[in-house]
Structure 1
Amino acid sequence: MKRASEVADYVVVGAGSAGCVVANHLSADPSQRVVLLEAGNRDTSPWIHVPVGYFQTMHNPNFDWCYETAPDPGLNGRSLHWPRGKVLGGSSSLNGLLYVRGQREDYDHWAQMGNEGWSWRDVGPIFEELETFQRPGGGEGRGTHGPLQVSDPRLRRRICELWIEAAKANGYPYNPDYNGPVQDGVGHFQLTVNKGWRCSSAVAFLKPIRDRQNLEVVTKSQVRRVIIEDGRATGVEVQHPDGSRAVIRAGREVILCAGAIGSPQILMLSGIGDQAHLRDHGIAVQHDAPEVGRNLQDHLQARLVFKTREATLNDEVRSLFNKAKIGLEYALFRTGPMTMAASLVFGFMRTRPGLATPDIQFHIQPWSADSPGEGVHPFSAFTQSVCQLRPESRGTITLQSADPLVAPRIDPNYLATQTDRDTIVAGIEIARELARTEPLKSAISEEFRPRPDVQGYDEVLDWARMNSTTIYHPTGTCRMGPDDGAVVDPRLRVRGVQGLRVADCSIMPEIVSGNTNAPAMMIGAKLARMVQEDRRAGA
C-alpha cells in the first residue's frame, strides 16, 4: 500500500464528490504539493463503473461506511441505514447518478443569510464550468467543456411515461431541463453517465490528472484527527489498515471533505466542538464550537409502491435468461437496464398555493424494492418516491467514542415540525392522486404501499413514520455563516483555528432543493478558487 509523503502544501481529507474536485483544482498549480487521503479502497470494482452497480455497492462494507441512525422518534423509533461512499469517488461512486443543481433561489437565500459570494450569480458559472451537458444544443447556463459528463438517460420505460402523462393531466408542465432557468414540472432525469459508464467525481476529476507529479492520492488511510498547534492546523494523523499511524504535515492548509458525517466527526476528534461533549469523551478542547455536528438536515422519502398490469423492470430481472439478455445489450451497445439510474423520471411540485418554488420532489422508478441494495420485489410494480425539499427539522451528529474507528451517533430528528409532517402527508396524497389519473390508472392493478384503506391525515402520517426512509442527502453539520456561532465562515475557514477549512455538503446552511451530488462538486470547486485567491492575496 502506498503511503503519503510526510509533507505537503495542502492535505485534503476525503476523496469524495467535493474532495476530488478540490485536489484537481489545487494541484493545477505545479508549485503546490497536494496529498488527497481516502479511508476506502480504490474504485477498481466494475460494479462502481456500471451505472446500475449501486445494487451491488450500497450496504457493502467494501464500498460503504454502512452507517446506522439512532432510533428516531419521528419514525416511531425506527433506525435507518445511511449509506455513504467509502471508496475513491466517495458517494459519487455508489449513488443513483442523478444530476440536480437545486433551485437558484437556494443559493440566493444562502447569500441573503450573509454568505457573501454564494448567490446563484456566483455559483451558477461554477456549475457550468464543471460540466459537459451532452444534449445537442445544450441549454441556457449549461456547460459544454467541463470534465463532468452529464447526459440524458439511455433507458425509458412505459410506466414512467404514463406517470408523466398523468402528471400533465393534473396540470404539471413538462420541463425538458430542470437544471435550466426553472425547476418546476415533470420530465426525465439527467445523469452523471458518459457513454453508458458512471462518471463519478474520481473519474471526472482524478483520472485525467493521475500523472501530475505534485498530487498524491492515497487510499486505505483513515484520518484520526487534525493536528492543531498554537491555534493552527499543521497536519493530520492517519491510521493505516495494519494499525500503524503516521503524521502528514500541511505547510499551508488542511481541507476536510469527509462529508456531513465524517467532517464533524473529525473536527470533534480534533478538539473542535462543544466543549462539554468533548470533555465527556476525554478529548482536549482546542476550540469551543457548539454547532459542530448540529443543523443536520436530510431529505426523507416516502416510497409508494403500485402493482401493475404490465411488466416492469421487476419482471425483466427475474430470470437468468433475461439477465443474460440485459448483460449482452449492455456489453454490445452500452444501453438497456444496466445504464439505469436510481430513477428515470422527476417531478418538482408544490404542496400548497402561495409557495414561490416547488417544495416536493418525485423520483419515479420502473421497479420496486425495499432498498436498492436488497433486490426487487417478486411482482410487477413501480415506485413513486416523494420527498420534502426544504425540511425544517434539524438533527445532530455526536461522538459515541473518542476512537475514530467507532461511527458517530446520527440523530436525524425527522418530522419534528408541523410543516414537515404536513408536507410529507400532502406529497403522499399527490402521489395517490396521480396514480388515480389516466392514463396511469389503467396500468395499475393494486395500491400496494400504502393500502387504499390508509385514509385521513393521522393514518397517512403514521404510515409515513413507519415506512419512510432517507434519500441519502445528509447536509448542514458544519454550517457556513457570517455569525460567530457558525462552524465555518463564508470562505469555508473553520472559526477559531487557522489553516483549516471544510468543503462538502456539511457546510450548507440550509439543504438545497434537490439531490446533493452536483452541489457538493460545486462546493469543492468554489473552495479551491477561494484558497487560490487567498494565497495570491497573502491571506
Structure 2
Amino acid sequence: MQDGQSYDYIIVGAGSAGCVLANRLSEGGRHQVLLLEAGGKDDSFWIHIPIGYGKTIVDEKVNWKFQTEPNPALGGRCIYWPRGKVLGGSSSINGLIYIRGQAEDYDHWRQLGNPGWSYEDVLPYFKKAENQENGSDAFHGVGGPLTVTNLRERNPLCDAFIGSAQSQGIPRNDDFNGAQQEGAGYFQATVRNGRRESAATAYLRPALRRSNLTVLTGAMTEKVLLDGKKATGVQFRHQGKVLTARAGREVILSAGSIKSPHLLMLSGIGDAQHLAEQGIEPRHDLRGVGQNLQDHYGGQITWKCNQAITMNDVMMSRFRQMQVGLQWLLTRRGPLSVPAGQAALFARVLPDSATPDLQFLFQTFSGGYYEDGLFKFSGFANFICPVRPNSRGQITLRSPDPYDQPRLEPNYFSDERDRRTAVEGLKLARRMAASRPLADFVISEHLPGSETATDQQIEDYLVENGGCVSHQVGTCKMGTDAMAVVDPNLRVHGVGGLRVVDASIMPTLISGNTNAPTIMIAEKAAAAILGQAA
C-alpha cells in the first residue's frame, strides 16, 4: 500500500473482534477496509491442532507474552499474560472453549446504563455468529461463521467428575449456553473437523478474496491520528517504514484489553495528568482509559490418578505420542482434538449468590502453569476461579514508546469476597474428589495436599500458587458515567470517527470464558456501524 492511502474503515488488530469486523464491513463491496495486525500469519501447525495451545501459549512468534507488575495481594508475584499476536489474535492460541456467560451478566450491563446490551438484545448476535452442531433453537443458531461442536473424545474422568458433582447436589447441565448456566457437564468447543476454529479461519479467511479488503500483517500501529477531536487515520510501522493510512469514516480499535487502551493513551486520549507525566501531549482528557481492569484469577487442585488415562500418560510415552499424533492426522480425533478444559461446573458456593459465582475447568491432565509443563505421573486437575471478581486494576503507560509494554496492574485477589469464593470452591472440589465416582480414580491429592487444611492455609496456597486464565476486560468500558470510555454504540466519548470494539468495552466481566462474547460484541458493533439489525 502507499503511504497516506485512504480507506473507509481502518481496523487495528486482527483478533477475535477485528476478524469479525473485517468480514462484516467488507461484505457487499461497498466499503474499502484496511485491517492492521502487528503479528504474522496464522500458518503455524500448532495453531490449527487443538492441543497446540500447549505450544502457542508460550511461543513469542504468535504471542505478546505480557507480564504484570508485582501484585501486592499476591506477595509481589508477577503473573504471565499470554495474548495472541497473530491473525486470529487470542482465538488462535486459546483453549477453544465456547462459553457465553450468564443472561444476568448482560442484563447487568443494561442496568449500568447501556441500552441495547441486555441478554435479550445480545442473544441474536450470538446466534448470528454461531454454526451450532446440535442445531438451532431459542438459544442457538446455525449457518453462522463460527462452528461450535461437541467433544468427540470423552475421557471416563469427565463422566466421573460430572457424577460426583451430582452427588453434591449440583445438577447436570448439557448446555451451559442455553436456558441456564448452573450445573456440571461437558464444554462445547470452537473446533471444526478436528481443527481449531479461530476468528481468522471462521471470519477472515472467507473474506480475504475480496478486493475491497486489505490485510497487512507485521503492521504495528503506533498511534491514532487526530484532527482536533476527530480521528482521521493511524500511524503504523510496516517492513521497517513508518506509514500512515487515512480513514474516511472511522478508525476502529480492536487491539484487545491491553493494546486498545495503550493505543488511546499513546495517541493523547486518556487521563491528561498521566499523559503529561509521560511526555505525551493530552489531546482529549478521558480518565477511564486503562481503568476498570478485570480478570479471572484462581488456582488449581491436582490429583494423582490410578489409571493411565490422562494426557500426562500420553506425554510420558514416545509410543503413545506417536499413536495419538497419527490418530489426529488420519481421523482428526483423539486426545489432540480436545480443548483445554473438557468438562465444567458452574456453581454457587457463597450463600448470598443468586447465580453461579464459581467456575471449574476440569482437565484430564495436570502440571504447572504454562512453561512448567505436565507432571511426570498420571494426573488430572481442576482450575477454580470466581466468575464475577470484584478486584479491579489498571493499565498505564511505562513510557511514550509504543514498543514498551504498558504497566499491567490487575490487583488480583485484593477483594475479600474473591478470596472467599475461591477458598469455598477448592473445598467443593475436595468434596467431589472424595465422593464416587471420581473417588474411584484418585490415589491422592497432589496439590495443595492434605496438609493445606484450614481456610487460611487454602487462601495462602491460592495467593502463592494461583494464576489467571487471561480473560482481561474492562479497560475501555462502555457506559455514560465519568469513567466510561465508549458509549453504548462503542464510540469513544468526545472523539469523532473513533470506536473501540473488543473485550475492553465490557463494563463488568462475564461469568466465563471471553472469546464468544467478544465475537458477539463485534457482530453487534458491525451491525450498528452498517445500520443493520440482527
**If the length of structure 2 is used for normalisation, what is the TM-score?**
0.98
Q: How far apart are the structure 2 equivalents of 1:373 and 1:187? A: 29
Give, in angstroms, the shift of residue 29 of structure 1.
3.6
Root-mean-square deviation (Å): 1.4
SS in 2 for 1:202: helix
Q: How far apart are the structure 2 equivalents of 1:442 and 1:451? A: 18
2:174 is aligned to 176
- 1:366 and 1:382 in contact (8 A); partners too: yes
Answer yes or no: is 1:301 the counterpart of 2:298.
yes
- 2:58 and 2:370 in contact (8 A); partners too: no
1:90 is aligned to 89
Q: How far apart are the structure 1 equivalents of 2:483 and 2:289? A: 9
Answer yes or no: is 1:80 the counterpart of 2:79.
yes
Identity across aligned pairs (percent)?
46
Give, in angstroms, the shift of residue 237 of structure 1.
0.3
Alignment of 1:266-277 (within 5 A): 266-277=263-274
Cα shift readout 1:274-321 (whole Å, capped 9, x = no counterpart): 111101111010111111100000001211111111111101221211
Q: How far apart are the structure 1 equivalents of 2:325 and 2:305? A: 25
2:279 corresponds, among 251, 273, 282, to: 282
Q: How far apart are the structure 2 equivalents of 1:505 and 1:358? A: 21
Answer yes or no: is 1:246 the counterpart of 2:246.
no
Give, in angstroms, the shift of residue 484 of structure 1.
4.0
1:403 is aligned to 401
Alignment of 1:375-394 (within 5 A): 375-394=373-392
- After superposition, the Cα gap between the structure-2 partners of 1:69 and 1:241, relative to the gap in structure 1 and judged at 3 Å, is farther
Letter in 1 for 2:284: H
- 1:20 and 1:89 in contact (8 A); partners too: yes
- 1:54 and 1:372 in contact (8 A); partners too: no
Where does structure 1 lack aligned partners over 5 or more consecutive residues?
A: none
Q: How far apart are the structure 2 equivalents of 1:372 and 1:62? A: 16
Cα shift readout 1:28-76 (whole Å, capped 9, x = no counterpart): 1412100010000010111111111111111111000000011101211
1:165 is aligned to 163
SS in 1 for 2:516: helix
Q: Which aligned runs of 4 or more in structure 1 are off by greater than 4 angstroms?
A: 2-5
1:431 corresponds, among 429, 450, 464, to: 429
Answer yes or no: is 1:255 the counterpart of 2:252.
yes
Answer yes or no: is 1:236 the counterpart of 2:234.
yes
1:145 is aligned to 143
1:265 corresponds, among 259, 262, 266, to: 262
Alignment of 1:281-430 (within 5 A): 281-311=278-308, 312-430=310-428
- 2:145 and 2:202 in contact (8 A); partners too: yes
Q: How far apart are the structure 2 equivalents of 1:412 and 1:43? A: 29
Q: How many aligned positions are there?
A: 532
Give, in angstroms, the shift of residue 374 of structure 1.
4.0
Q: How far apart are the structure 2 equivalents of 1:140 and 1:316? A: 40
2:66 is aligned to 67
Q: How far apart are the structure 2 equivalents of 1:80 and 1:48? A: 23
Give, in angstroms, the shift of residue 352 of structure 1.
2.2
**If the length of structure 1 is used for normalisation, what is the TM-score?**
0.97
1:471 corresponds, among 469, 472, 489, to: 469
1:39 is aligned to 38
Give, in angstroms, the shift of residue 23 of structure 1.
1.0
SS in 2 for 1:460: helix
SS in 2 for 1:424: helix
Q: How far apart are the structure 2 equivalents of 1:87 and 1:194? A: 20
1:125 is aligned to 124
2:190 is aligned to 192
2:455 is aligned to 457
1:9 is aligned to 8
Where does structure 2 lack aligned partners over 5 or more consecutive residues?
A: none
**Higher deviation after alignment, 73-82 or 138-147:** 138-147
Q: How far apart are the structure 1 equivalents of 2:369 and 2:484? A: 35
- After superposition, the Cα gap between the structure-2 partners of 1:43 and 1:468, relative to the gap in structure 1 and judged at 3 Å, is same
**Higher deviation after alignment, 3-12 or 447-456:** 3-12
- 1:346 and 1:362 in contact (8 A); partners too: yes
Letter in 1 for 2:122: V
Letter in 1 for 2:291: R
Q: How far apart are the structure 1 equivalents of 2:43 and 2:483? A: 42
SS in 2 for 1:206: helix
Letter in 2 for 1:195: N
Q: How far apart are the structure 1 equivalents of 2:43 and 2:6? A: 27
Give, in angstroms, the shift of residue 373 of structure 1.
4.6
Q: How far apart are the structure 1 equivalents of 2:524 and 2:327? A: 40
Letter in 1 for 2:30: S
Q: How far apart are the structure 1 equivalents of 2:247 and 2:97? A: 35
**Higher deviation after alignment, 325-334 or 89-98:** 325-334
